[in-house]
Amino acid sequence: MKKRLELQEYRSGILSGNRVILSQAITLVESSLETDQALASELIQSLMAATGKSIRVGITGVPGVGKSTFIQAFGRLLLDQGKKVAVLAVDPSSQLTKGSILGDKTRMENLASDKRAFIRPSPTGTILGGVSGHTREAMLLCEAAGFDLILVETVGVGQSETAVKNMVDFFLLLMLAGAGDELQGIKKGIMEMADGLVIHKADGDNLESAKKAKSAYQNALHLFPLSENSWSPPVILASSVAGTGLEEVWNMINEFESKMKASGFWENNRAKQRLDWLDDQVRVLLGLAFLGNPDVKNELTLQRPKVQSGELNPGTLAKRLIQLLFSKN
């Protein structure tokens, strides 16, 4: 393993926008080693004053919708407007091998080659929610490095793929047209969370069906109650290949930012997200402390076969293990 840098080396490198050191710092926060975790926590704390100035955008969508293609085209638009763009592309991990494809950087080669952009693929591991277990830390590091926009590409869309909503400012949902029933792909939960919808691949022979899909989605959105921020999610047609609709998406995000900051929702939402992060971290650390406790480990090893055979109720053992943990402290 490569020798870790000193705290000040990480900090100064990130604040100067060094993409190599930024990448190394994200590797540090993703490490499971206790020494790395301690250093990563200290690093994040030392950079907090330099964070919070970017726009955080979560991007999700059905399989095959072209998330990476959209992000590359949208990212190029932002670079042309003088913005610095960081992409945190989360790849699914295999539950069998724990490996990850990590192919997004290859698919966004044109964007990755620009020095004003930074692309970091990360495995999800065992974390649900379509994001990596350290996506929040990676976002803060990118903000401290001076990136104006942080685009978080999730692994897909589904009932558990909405955790990204709790860590971004704007949640963008990409949808497809021409795949049969236009409303079949709508999941009420994720639709209610979206701040904007994009009917992607709206070009060529697919343009007419995309227009029909737009109308269908707009009608569906009108059936939902108005969100707490009083924002009505627009539906936009876009094609990354033709380059259409991308500026409209950017204008939508700018309008959202302006209105949410004026109403106070922007900072209130971020404050709530910080508390959500605290709750998540407490749960994770409690879980690690629980499974790492020697008495719990021994009892679990002894009793697991009884649960496996059906002799012992899993809930009964779980309560016994919890009692064992706290009775020893």
Counted domains in the chain: 3
Residue 53 has what pLDDT?
Answer: 95
In a domain, 267, yes or no: no
CA-nearest of 34, 33, 40 to 14 is 40
121 in the same domain as 200: yes
Distance CA 61, CA 82 (A): 27
Q: Which residue range(s) make up the domain with 247?
A: 52-262
| β pairing state of 196-199 and 117-123 | unpaired
CA-nearest of 156, 150, 33, 151 to 101 is 156
Residue 326 has what pLDDT?
Answer: 85
228 in the same domain as 131: yes
Rg of the Cα trace of the chain? 22
The CATH number assigned to the domain holding 153 equals 3.40.50.300
What parts of the chain have a pLDDT lower than 50? 1, 92-104, 124-132, 159-160, 180-185
286 in the same domain as 138: no
Residue 183 has what pLDDT?
Answer: 47
119 in the same domain as 18: no
173 in the same domain as 79: yes
Contact 259, 231 (CB under 8 A): yes
Residue 222 has what pLDDT?
Answer: 82
Residue 44 has what pLDDT?
Answer: 96
Residue 204's region, left for phi above 0, alpha for psi from -120 to 50, else beta, is left
290 in the same domain as 183: no
3-state secondary structure of 51: coil
Residue 290's region, left for phi above 0, alpha for psi from -120 to 50, else beta, is alpha
Long-range contacts of 72-76, Cβ-Cβ distance < 8 Å, separation of 24 or more: 72/107, 72/108, 72/110, 72/111, 72/240, 73/240, 73/243, 73/246, 74/151, 74/240, 74/246, 74/249, 74/250, 75/108, 75/111, 75/117, 75/151, 76/110, 76/111
Q: What is the pTM of this model?
A: 0.87
Residue 170 has what pLDDT?
Answer: 97
114 in the same domain as 64: yes
Contact 147, 119 (CB under 8 A): no
Residue 130 has what pLDDT?
Answer: 37
Distance CA 10, CA 38 (A): 14
In a domain, 34, yes or no: yes
